[in-house]
Amino acid sequence: MMAQTNSAPFIEVKNVYKRFGNYLAVENLSMHIERGEIVALLGRTGAGKSTVMSMLMGSIGCDAGEVRVAGVDPSVDFHALRGKVSVAFQTDRLLPWRTAVENVELGLQILNRPKKETREAALQWLERVKLKGAEDKYVHELSGGMRQRVSLARALAVDPELVFLDEVFSQLDHVTSQVLRKDFAQIVRDVGKTCVFVTHRIDDALDIADRVFVLAPPAQVCLEIRIDAAMRKNPEVLAGLHDQIERAIGGDETEDVSPSKEEL
Ligand SMILES: Nc1ncnc2c1ncn2[C@@H]1O[C@H](COP(=O)(O)OP(=O)(O)OP(=O)(O)O)[C@@H](O)[C@H]1O
């Protein structure tokens, strides 16, 4: 295992390639992400966002090149990242037989944290995501937005260094999604976590990311944008960035450009 030097980026992707059969999904991708950054991987369907995130999470390895998270290869040294990385998905993946607080406790239980500490942390996180009063509700008693809040609390409760979010805002209506992503970004900034999130929605990225990597197949960074708080408050700047991204991804970001898996 390679130790991380202070100057090394927290996440490093160097000249990475990934094939699925004959299909080249990632071609010579390089990117750096610093500790504490909120980074969006944005692109149309088939751009390679999930593949890149899966490689960063270590759930798939790359064919060539290097992926390093906190100095280790996540697909090889995944034990070194245990408890340091967490993930929330598009669908909340909550356990229906558990209450909200019991769902938040799950990650802490897997890490064998003491029972009292686990309950206290889960309750604190539920309060932080604005679900005080809903602790004992079962999943079917919660709205879609509340479920995603539970899912985000569960991801953050283990006190990870790095949080991955896979389209967590995209199944919610526009207003719910907007409120949730702003609350989430505030929490992540307050606690100083690094966050990498995948989205196909330009507004998700512009609303919360410090940096946006716009990907086009085969996972090429066709545009990289830095955004700060002042830019976010300026509607003209935001509209300009929106147009720039739309041009980079070729108009409608939801249109499918990838071959179907059956064609491969
Ligand atoms: N396991 C797999 N087997 C074969 N092809 C795959 C596999 N996973 C991804 N692909 C292909 O790789 C390309 C990139 O897919 P990926 O899921 O990373 O894109 P994406 O940008 O996340 O898209 P979406 O927004 O639809 O999830 C697509 O053409 C997809 O069909």
Tokens 């179907």 correspond to: 260
What total of structural domains would you count in the chain?
2
Domain end position, chosen among 159, 194, 210: 159
- Measuring from atom 28 of ligand 1, which residue has the nearest CA? 46
Confidence at residue 251, expressed as pLDDT on a 0 to 100 scale: 67
What pLDDT shows up at residue 90? 80
| Dihedral-angle region of residue 163 (phi above 0 means left; psi in -120 to 50 means alpha; beta otherwise) | beta
Write down the pLDDT at residue 254. 45
Supply the DSSP symbol for 99: B
Residues of the chain with confidence (pLDDT) below 50: 1-3, 252-264
For ligand 1, atom 12, the nearest C-alpha belongs to: 25
Residues 98 and 75 in one domain: no
Rounded to whole angstroms, the Cα distance separating 132 from 228 reads 31
Best substitution site from 18, 22, 23, 222 to test ligand 1's pocket, by max atoms within 8 Å of Cβ? Answer: 23
Ligand 1 centroid to residue 263 C-alpha, Å: 12
Give which of 124, 78, 118, 114 is closest to 102, Cα–Cα: 118
- Looking at the structure, tell me whether residues 76 and 89 fall in a common domain: no
Which residue among 19, 45, 55 is best mutated to probe the pocket of ligand 1, counting the most ligand atoms within 8 A of its Cβ? 45
Determine, yes or no, domain membership for 241: yes
Q: Give the domain CATH number at 209.
A: 3.40.50.300
Asked if 204 and 226 sit in the same domain, the reply is yes
Q: Are residues 76 and 195 in the same domain?
A: yes
Q: Is residue 75 part of a domain?
A: yes
pLDDT in tens, 118-144: 999 999 999 999 999 999 999 999 998
142, 159, 176: which is the final residue of a domain? 159
Is the bond leading into 218 cis (omega within 30 degrees of zero)? yes
In this prediction, residue 258 carries a pLDDT of 43
pLDDT value of position 197? 94
Q: Are residues 235 and 108 in the same domain?
A: no
Q: Which of 17, 20, 60 to mutate to test the pocket of ligand 1 (most atoms within 8 A of CB)?
A: 20
Q: If DSSP codes are grouped into helix, strand and coil, which group holds residue 222?
A: strand
Binding-site residues, ligand 1, Cβ < 6 A: 20, 23, 25, 43, 45-51, 200, 258-259, 261, 264
Distance CA 149, CA 240 (A): 31
In terms of domains, do 106 and 75 share one? no
Long-range contacts of 206-209 (CB under 8 A, 24+ apart): 206/232, 206/238, 206/241, 206/242, 206/245, 207/178, 207/181, 207/182, 207/232, 208/38, 208/40, 208/181, 208/182, 208/184, 209/38, 209/39, 209/40
Length of the chain measured in residues: 264
Per-residue pLDDT tens over the stretch 16-58 = 999 999 999 999 999 999 999 999 999 999 999 999 999 999 9
ipTM of this predicted structure: 0.96
Domain presence at residue 259:
no
109 assigned to some structural domain: yes
Beta strands in the chain (DSSP E): 11-20, 23-33, 38-42, 64-69, 85-88, 162-166, 194-199, 211-216, 220-226
Does some domain include residue 263? no
Residue 179 inside a domain? The answer is no
State the closest ligand 1 atom to the C-alpha of 259, by its place in the atom list counted from 1: 29
- What range does the domain containing 139 cover? 85-159
Q: Taking the model in full, what pTM does it have?
A: 0.89
Q: How far apart are the CA of 93 and the centre of ligand 1, in A? A: 21
Task: Pick the residue whose CA is nearest to atom 7 on ligand 1.
Answer: 20
Q: Tell me if 116 is assigned to some domain.
A: yes
Tell whether 119 and 241 lie within a shared domain: no
Q: What is the pLDDT of residue 264?
A: 39
